[in-house]
Homo-oligomer: A and B are copies of this chain.
Amino acid sequence: MLKIYNTPPSTNWDELCTRPMLEAEDCTNTVTTILKDVQQNGDAALLKYTELYDKVTLSTLQVEKSEIDESETKIDSPLKAAIDLAFDNIYSFHINQLEQEKSITTTKGVNCWRKSVGIENVGLYIPGGTAPLFSTLLMLGIPAKIAGCANISVCTPLNKNGPINSAILYAAKKIGIQTIYTIGGAQAIAALTYGTPTIKKVNKIFGPGNQYVTRAKQLVSLQHVAIDMPAGPSEVLIYADDTAYPSFIAADLLSQAEHGIDSQVILVATNQKIIDAVNDELSVQIKQLSRAEIAMASLANSKAIIFEDVNVAFNFINYYATEHLIIATDNATELCTKVINAGSIFLGHYSPESVGDYASGTNHTLPTNGYAKMYSGVSVDSFIKKITVQQLTKQGLLNIAPTVESMATAEGLQAHKEAVSIRVKQLQQNDF
């Protein structure tokens, strides 16, 4: 089922690394209209678009606190236990990303440090649709809370058949989030950006979404708010040698392929035998899946590539810069040192991508579409600003004064020099 490429020359790599992109209609005009309308008409526009797109008539935009509190009693106990363990793992991985930085004396009397502060107001977008993505709420809410963000708002659309999913409410309760708005789409991004009488304006917006949400985030990020990262369809690349289990690889490829018809799965293998075995397993396993049709469509875009030379293989892997990289070999730890571009790496035969999607502790909000070359996934850092601070003693200022005066003069910025000179003069006169 995977199309096979044997040792493609690097001149073909650009083509092999092109991601399948759905021919999306250009939604810029629609999104621009929605953004303006919400900016001008606030809550009324939100109610209107929710009725139009989600087919839901809202009597209120916000979930009651009591609904969040009661979620604990409405959720199955195995699922509750699962969310509890996932919470603990994600929490303990992310809490270690907080650092206490020390003050550095760069020159005697010149002390510099960084002060970390959580971004005051953040918005988390959790898509609606077929699946209630409570895992995404954990992945965004936990680091936001650890970072110390003062106000965390969640937007998630209701689906027309009923109340908000209790797993989402329970995840919010665990994290300590009290503000959940039942809106989605570009109108939710607009509300978080501009604020409305009900919805508080935020400084940064996080989370995945459909093409309208993605385009809205992109447009507002040019002027008003920050966003987590550019979004694209999910993807996995698996590297396998003869030590790999073809049945595991097929299962991992399918777990990515079931996401959507634009997902991409790539297998890089050391020989064709492995690929043949994986293809055989794919045909068997796909039949048992509820989302087989989606998986089938996305496998149609997918590729199996043979590289006998491990260094060439990892050159290609770095060139592709995949969101998820599974290294399915006995020597995965050693091969990991060759990776410079990836969102998240899964080492060995017992680290499938789905453990990272839910519960190993790492974040599942990761760069796609080759952005792993320059972006990291979401972490506590994404919710923090680091403000630099400097404090000079009188002697410290005297120590670096000639340096600053000389550089400012060479750059033609006399007033920059004078701000130092006037202090030096005062210190020299007063014999401090």
A53 at the binding interface (Cβ < 8 Å): no
A20 at the binding interface (Cβ < 8 Å): no
Given contacts A226-B375, A341-B120, A361-B106, contact A355 B390 (CB under 8 A): yes
Of all chain B residues, which has the CB nearest A318?
B120
Interface membership of chain A positions 126-155, coded 1 if the CB is closer than 8 angstroms to chain B and 0 otherwise = 000011111100000000000000000000
A258 at the binding interface (Cβ < 8 Å): yes
Bound Cα distance A225, B370 (Å): 10
Interface membership of chain A positions 249-262, coded 1 if the CB is closer than 8 angstroms to chain B and 0 otherwise = 00110110111000
Bound Cα distance A344, B432 (Å): 27
Given contacts A133-B411, A345-B389, A410-B134, contact A354 B112 (CB under 8 A): no
Contact check, A258 vs B130: say whether CB atoms are below 8 A apart.
Answer: no
Pick from B83, B117, B351, B407: contact of A340, CB below 8 A: B117
Contact check, B352 vs A389: say whether CB atoms are below 8 A apart.
Answer: no
Pick from B83, B389, B407: contact of A407, CB below 8 A: B83
Interface membership of chain A positions 389-412, coded 1 if the CB is closer than 8 angstroms to chain B and 0 otherwise = 111111011001011101110111
Cβ distance A375 to chain B, nearest Cβ, rounded Å? 6
Contact check, B251 vs A359: say whether CB atoms are below 8 A apart.
Answer: no
Segment among A1-9, A41-49, A377-385 that sits at the interface with chain B: A377-385
Contact check, A419 vs B252: say whether CB atoms are below 8 A apart.
Answer: yes
Bound Cα distance A251, B405 (Å): 14
A333 at the binding interface (Cβ < 8 Å): yes
Which A residues between 301 and 350 are near B, CB-CB below 8 angstroms? 332-333, 336, 339-350
Cβ–Cβ < 8 Å partners of A99 in chain B:
99
Pick from B351, B360, B415: contact of A251, CB below 8 A: B415
Given contacts A89-B110, A92-B106, A396-B350, contact A410 B79 (CB under 8 A): yes
A243 at the binding interface (Cβ < 8 Å): no
Interface membership of chain A positions 353-372, coded 1 if the CB is closer than 8 angstroms to chain B and 0 otherwise = 11111111111000000011
Contact check, A393 vs B110: say whether CB atoms are below 8 A apart.
Answer: no
Contact check, A390 vs B346: say whether CB atoms are below 8 A apart.
Answer: yes
Of all chain B residues, which has the CB nearest A226?
B374
Among A110, A115, A133, A349, max chain B CB count under 10 A is at: A110
A291 at the binding interface (Cβ < 8 Å): yes
Bound Cα distance A361, B352 (Å): 44
Bound Cα distance A403, B78 (Å): 8
Contact check, A374 vs B112: say whether CB atoms are below 8 A apart.
Answer: no
Pick from B333, B340, B414: contact of A120, CB below 8 A: B340
Bound Cα distance A123, B412 (Å): 25
Among A222, A333, A373, max chain B CB count under 10 A is at: A373
A285 at the binding interface (Cβ < 8 Å): yes
Pick from B379, B385, B390, B420: contact of A376, CB below 8 A: B385
Contact check, B360 vs A390: say whether CB atoms are below 8 A apart.
Answer: yes
Cβ–Cβ < 8 Å partners of A332 in chain B:
391
Bound Cα distance A349, B423 (Å): 9
Contact check, A413 vs B348: say whether CB atoms are below 8 A apart.
Answer: no
A212 at the binding interface (Cβ < 8 Å): no
Contact check, A387 vs B339: say whether CB atoms are below 8 A apart.
Answer: yes
Bound Cα distance A344, B377 (Å): 26
Given contacts A347-B391, A387-B345, A415-B251, contact A410 B226 (CB under 8 A): no
Pick from B130, B291, B404, B422: contact of A359, CB below 8 A: B404
A417 at the binding interface (Cβ < 8 Å): yes
Contact check, B390 vs A356: say whether CB atoms are below 8 A apart.
Answer: yes
Bound Cα distance A132, B101 (Å): 33
A18 at the binding interface (Cβ < 8 Å): no
Contact check, A415 vs B257: say whether CB atoms are below 8 A apart.
Answer: yes
Closest 3 A/B residue pairs (Cβ): A106-B361, A89-B106, A82-B406
> 11 interchain pairs (CB within 8 A)?
A89-B400, A112-B360, A112-B361, A120-B341, A134-B410, A248-B423, A259-B413, A291-B414, A346-B390, A347-B390, A359-B404
11 more contacts with CB within 8 A, not counting A345-B387, A358-B408, are A89-B107, A131-B413, A226-B374, A248-B419, A248-B426, A252-B419, A345-B390, A352-B419, A354-B404, A362-B390, A374-B385
